Structure 1
Amino acid sequence: MLTFSWFYSLMLLFMTLMIFVKFNKHILLILMSLEFFVVMMFYVWFMYFSMMDVNQFMSLYYLIFSVNESVLGLTIMIIIMRSEGSDYLSSLSVLKW
Structure 2
Amino acid sequence: MLMFIWSYILILLVMTLMIFIKFNKHILLILMSLEFFVVAMFYVWFMYFSVLDVNQFISLYYLIFSVNESVLGLTIMIVIMRSEGSDYISSFSLFKW
* Corresponding residue SS for 2:90: helix
* Structure 2: unaligned runs, 5 residues or longer: none
Q: Which letter does structure 2 place at the counterpart of 1:44?
A: V
| Separation of aligned partners in 2, 1:2 and 1:9 | 11
| Separation of aligned partners in 2, 1:46 and 1:96 | 42
Residue 92 of structure 1 deviates from its aligned partner by 1.1
CA RMSD of aligned residues (A): 0.5
Superposed CA deviations along residues 44-72 of structure 1, whole A, max 9, x for unmatched, are 00000000011111100000000000000
Identity fraction in percent: 84
Calculate the TM-score normalised by the size of structure 2.
0.98
1:18-57 paired onto structure 2 within 5 Å: 18-57=18-57
| Separation of aligned partners in 2, 1:92 and 1:8 | 37
1:1-97 paired onto structure 2 within 5 Å: 1-97=1-97
Residue 28 of structure 1 deviates from its aligned partner by 0.2
* Corresponding residue SS for 1:91: coil
Q: Which letter does structure 2 place at the counterpart of 1:29?
A: L
Superposed CA deviations along residues 3-59 of structure 1, whole A, max 9, x for unmatched, are 111100111101100110111000000000000000000000000000001111110
Residue 83 of structure 1 deviates from its aligned partner by 0.7
* Structure 1: unaligned runs, 5 residues or longer: none
